[in-house]
Chain A
Amino acid sequence: MAGDQGTRSLGAPAGVSVLRDLEGLVQVLTCGSVDDGKSTLIGRLLWDATDLPEDTRATIEKSIGTDGLPDLSLLVDGLVAEREQGITIDIAWRYVDAGSRRYVIIDSPGHEQYTRNMATGASHADVAIMLIDARHGVKRQTRRHAAILDLMGVRRVVLAVNKMDLVDWSEARFREIEADFAGVMRRFGFEQAQAIPVAAKLGDCVACASEHMTWYTGPTLLDVLAAVPSRGTKTGGPFRFPVQLVLRGKGSDFRGLAGTVASGRVAVGDEVRDSSSGKTAKVRRIATMDGHLDSAAIGQAVVIQLDVDLDISRGSVLSQPGAAPVTARTLRSRMVWLAETPLTQHQGMLLRTATDLVPVSRLDIASRLDLETLAEEAVQTAHPNDVIAASITLARPVAVDRFAEIAETGSFILVDSLTGGTLAGGVVEDAMAGAKTATKGAFLLTRQMLAGGVCAGLDPAGAEFQRRADEVATILRAAGVTVEIER
């Protein structure tokens, strides 16, 4: 059994080919506990599918354990042998080149209660590997993990049924687990949910087919990862471009909007709409330091110049005119409470979207999701690791999408206005186009008040005016006032 150890080397680049860019990049979340063999699984992937430095291989080969096999988990020590840092949120990042691809392995260690660790990791993932021990089968934890992945928008899931050697490579046992898994997954809307029998310690079905499980004809774990579409290949979807900065050229005529395409694509000549004014203009130029482009697609960081100056600033979202984001002051949302302390009343908070930062007027928590039963229970406040449903009222409207439609412009974080800390991360489930008049009982901070006070002498349409108005609203909220800023 130990004989095949250490000889495999798949997809290891050699010679001049190392100079070429890899063809794609996929971010992979690994979830499961250390006991399920997670480090060994990642170690096995590194061992079999990458060109590890020889000094590293030599060290591992010397690490023969009591079972006569090298300890592959040592390849990912640092991730697991971490000194426990108490209750901090930590996900570890590891980079694996296999075949012609980069895999970014995102490891969310920690106790199963650490929902926020996993939610944080999941927000970056294209696919998740859920690891279980074949002897123990699908546990409550699997359902819990699936619920978090679903919430955070991960569409592809692989269940790695590990330690198949310890159940005598039993097909019956695997099929039983596979059926349980299908039962759990039926509740959710994953695009792909595949179970694979593996033995990470021995290498079966991780990067290579199994000699022990000839009954299994499905893909290996690496086969599944290799079939996940790379980042930046997701085409379609309406155009979204959250503006990060305004850049000016040497001449006075160039006023470029810098940002990253968050959805869809845009071409020179296209008509686009500015979310803050509702006005439209045509794309005159798409600039980069490497030359002008005819078009730009999701994931590309560019500078867009419009044919007319709409006085756009950071926080605006450029979009396709016929399929614009909602400009909303009330959001129905679901979020994971990331802070180490519960929500306190009158806590000054800001909502950060792709590029906007808006004071929160009110946060009304409706319910908490029980991740074991998936039942909603009414609650008043949020505690660490809670997944809550809440309605957020903002001091001024913000351009957002429903997360299910466009993740990039449908996600947000809540920021503590005093400490700057990140309190929660969430998704927009629904956004109501803002009523023009203030919410009943809210204090309206008028443009006139601001212009006569902290914003005296500032351009009412300028970014600094808005920034100061936001700060005043934040302070008032901390004093217990529901406040809105006049548009």
Chain B
Amino acid sequence: MSKPFSHLDLLEAESIHIFREAAAQFRKPVFLYSIGKDSTVLLHLARKAFYPQKPPFPLMHIDTTWKFRDMIAFRDRTARDLGLELIVHTNRDGAASGINPVDYAPSLYTDVMKTQALKQALDLHGFDAAFGGARRDEEASRAKERVFSFRASGHRWDPRKQRPEMWRLLNGRLGTGETARVFPLSNWTERDVWRYVLREKLDVVPLYMAAERPTVLRNGQILMLDDERMPLKPGEARVMRRIRFRTLGCWPLTAAIESTADDITSVVVETLTATTSERQGRLIDHDQSGAMEKKKQEGYF
């Protein structure tokens, strides 16, 4: 390669290096697949890291049963097309007790259907490391996150047990009961993820592109009505709007934005020139102050 490396070339090489280190050092890693753009980029990097082999770990999706239908279809198609094992885990106890994002506080719902579900799944399969798409630029509390982030038994995040990371030397030797989270996108920004989607011509869930979709306006946020499980409140109306999503999650908790960007290039242009920061669309973060940090200590990804 004669042309100088762009910043994305450097970030890509770093992520590949991290994937390979983790695969070499951990006994049984798993790829936490959350279907969104970050997962899409992460999976693409995993494929590059182990080429010509397939990534030597399965994909695992924590299914709250409230993901957009388009997400589930995309998930199944991706795993099938790439010939990768896909583990889908749902917290059956939580689902059986009727915990849902419509009637329960987002913090409780997230704890039961995401945090607890993730812990169950990791324990069930005995995974000692899990790849995730978290980035340090996402939130202030993540600015100090390590590339290899350790969890004590019970998946507790203990700030005092985190290891300093020097040079490119990643230390994956686990203590008793410990597991690790591995973040190959640590040094990527939201912009980088989008630029990379475009540069590598990656397929993303159609929900990122604007289309006419059934919506309701609630608390000043546009929510998409993906199925019939969320009844309208008095005074609310089902309205077709041209919308797209900046982040994807459980549909009753994910706000849309009105947009006409209906192809990936215009979405990226619109996103990169946006005037507001990313996580506004994710309602769980507004539920309580310091939400993310607290969730992390409880074992959220």
Q: How far is the CB of A47 from chain B (nearest CB, A)?
A: 15
Cross-chain contact A21 with B169 (CB below 8 angstroms): no
Q: Which residues of A contact B144 (CB under 8 A)?
A: 82, 90-93
Cross-chain contact A299 with B13 (CB below 8 angstroms): yes
* A232/B4 contact (C-beta < 8 A), A54-B276, A247-B52 known: yes
Q: Which residues of A contact B14 (CB under 8 A)?
A: 301
- A78's partner among B8, B20, B141 (CB-CB below 8 A) is B141
Cross-chain contact A95 with B137 (CB below 8 angstroms): yes
| Distance A245 CA – B53 CA, assembled complex (angstroms) | 11
Cross-chain contact B167 with A21 (CB below 8 angstroms): no
| Distance A14 CA – B24 CA, assembled complex (angstroms) | 42
**CB neighbors of B among A106-131 (8 A):** 116, 119-120, 123-124
**CB neighbors of B among A60-94 (8 A):** 77-79, 82, 85-94
**CB neighbors of A among B44-76 (8 A):** 47-53
Q: Which residues of A contact B198 (CB under 8 A)?
A: 19
**CB neighbors of A among B126-142 (8 A):** 136-137, 139-141
- B143's partner among A25, A79, A296, A421 (CB-CB below 8 A) is A79
Cross-chain contact B52 with A245 (CB below 8 angstroms): no
Q: How far is the CB of A57 from chain B (nearest CB, A)?
A: 9
- Tell me, yes or no, whether B9 is within 8 Å of chain A by CB: yes
Cross-chain contact A413 with B169 (CB below 8 angstroms): yes
Q: Which residues of A contact B153 (CB under 8 A)?
A: none
| Distance A25 CA – B5 CA, assembled complex (angstroms) | 9
Q: How far is the CB of B190 from chain A (nearest CB, A)?
A: 10
Q: Which residues of B contact A92 (CB under 8 A)?
A: 143-144
- A21's partner among B140, B168, B195 (CB-CB below 8 A) is B195
Cross-chain contact B143 with A78 (CB below 8 angstroms): yes
Q: Which of B97-105, B111-119, B234-242, B264-272 contacts A (4 or more CB under 8 A)?
A: B264-272
- Tell me, yes or no, whether A197 is within 8 Å of chain B by CB: no
Cross-chain contact A299 with B272 (CB below 8 angstroms): no
Q: Which residues of A contact B273 (CB under 8 A)?
A: 14-15, 18
Q: Which residue of chain B lies nearest to A85 when distances are taken between CB atoms in the complex? A: B159
- A95's partner among B24, B159, B187 (CB-CB below 8 A) is B187
Q: How far is the CB of A64 from chain B (nearest CB, A)?
A: 22
**Interchain Cβ contacts under 8 Å between A and B, 29 examples:** A19-B272, A21-B7, A21-B9, A21-B199, A22-B7, A23-B6, A53-B275, A54-B275, A55-B276, A78-B140, A82-B144, A86-B160, A88-B162, A93-B137, A95-B137, A95-B187, A95-B189, A230-B5, A232-B9, A232-B10, A254-B52, A260-B16, A288-B48, A289-B48, A289-B51, A289-B52, A293-B1, A413-B169, A417-B173
Known: A88-B162, A95-B189. 14 other contacts (CB 8 A): A15-B269, A15-B273, A20-B195, A21-B195, A24-B7, A92-B144, A93-B144, A101-B7, A102-B7, A120-B164, A260-B16, A357-B173, A408-B168, A422-B166
